[in-house]
Amino acid sequence: MRGISFLLIAATLGSCSTAPQPVTRSPSGQRAYEGLIAGKVAGPPVSCLPNYNANDMSVIDGQTIAFRVGTGTTYLVHLSDGCGLLGSGNYALLSRQVGGLGLCRGDIQQVVDTMNHITVGSCTIGQIVPYTRP
């Protein structure tokens, strides 16, 4: 009985791992990723991306989006699993902001089918990493 309890606790703790999973991108997604960070250096992750413009968002793949802010900074936003359909077909990322902090780590995002107006997935924002020119 004690052994079963230990296994259940171990399985529960193992499922809470926050280690980033390796991202496999399509060739076009990899080119977009490399183009956005070319000549730039990653800074320390930030907790929020204030004052972003949704028109400057690029979808790299279902787990990575990028925001260009100004002329030299690109923020890569890593998403948890659940937004895999983003960037394919008629899907868009829907963000509901509460307060004025902008896009923040832990915020829940929804992927919406723009043709049928239904939610087809959801995920949370993980790391937000700024890339700037040295």
CA-wise closest residue to 122 among 77, 62, 56, 49:
62
Diameter over CA atoms, the chain: 61
The model's pLDDT over 3-15, given as tens digits with 9 standing for 90+, comes to 444 333 444 444 4
> Percent of the chain having pLDDT more than 90?
22
Contact partners, residue 87, CB within 8 Å, separation at least 6: 29, 59, 60, 61, 62
Name the burial class of residue 123, with classes exposed (0-12), middle (13-18) and buried (19+) by CB atoms within 10 angstroms of its CB: buried
What's the pLDDT at 100? 65
Say which DSSP state 133 is in: -
What's the pLDDT at 129? 95
- Which whole number is the average pLDDT over 13-38? 68
- Which whole number is the average pLDDT over 39-57? 85
| Residue 1: pLDDT band with limits 50, 70, 90 | very low
- Which whole number is the average pLDDT over 79-99? 78
**Domain map (residue ranges) of the chain:** 40-134
